[in-house]
Structure 1
Amino acid sequence: MTDLISENETVAVFGQFTYTSVVAQQTFTSPFSIKAMVKNGLITYFQFMEDTYASAASFRVAGEWIIQQDADSTKNFSVSENS
């Protein structure tokens, strides 16, 4: 955790952590952020954000991904082990 900000019932937390995918044994570090709402000592809302692309990539052991980022398929790009 690097930063914690609170105002009334709203809390925001920022930081980073390191994951290891157990079977593939690939490790990556991801930034994270959390927004929470606390009422009467209980969390009533919790939102967690991380680098889900890096998380998914840690499970890939071979092959190529074709990424479509736009309705225009000419803007697609590929991600392979060497990328």
Structure 2
Amino acid sequence: MISENETIAVFGQFTYTYVHTQNTFTSPFSIKAIVKDGLITYFQFMEDTYASAASFHVGGEWSIPQDSDSAKNFTVSATLEH
């Protein structure tokens, strides 16, 4: 955790388990918050959303387009380590 004046930043990692599929993944996270008069007035949470989305899949894969050149697309597999 780092703070300067009213701004606070937190960095770490969580291990998530999607209960329905039992898919587990570990994601780094960061939080930025602004605190004024003891109250949080701004809160931003960031995580690995691709890993989070993949944990809901039970099979298959999907393609992520990079731009109009389909050769630059990449594929995300739903297979995760347990």
Query: Structure 1 length normalisation: TM-score?
Result: 0.87
Q: Following TM superposition, by how much is the alpha carbon of 1:18 offset from its aligned partner in structure 2, in angstroms?
A: 0.5
- The Cα RMSD (Å) is 1.6
Instruction: Count the aligned residue pairs.
Output: 80
Q: 1:12 is matched with which residue? A: 9
Offset, 1:71? 2.0
Q: Write out per-residue CA displacement over residues 11-50 of structure 1, whole angstroms, 9 at most, x where no aligned residue.
A: 0000001000110110000000000000000000001000
Which structure ranks higher in relative contact order (CA pairs < 8 Å, sequence separation ≥ 6)?
2
Alignment of 1:46-65 (within 5 A): 46-65=43-62
**Cα distance, 1:80–1:16 mapped onto 2, change above 3 Å:** closer
TM-score (norm 2): 0.88
Question: Which ranges in structure 2 are unaligned for 5 or more consecutive residues?
Answer: none
Identity %, equivalent residues = 77
Whether 1:21 and 2:18 are equivalent positions in the alignment is yes
Q: Which amino acid aligns with 1:24?
A: T
In the TM superposition, structure 1's runs of 4+ consecutive aligned residues that sit over 2 Å from their partners are: 77-83
Query: Structure 1: which 5+ residue stretches go unaligned?
Result: none
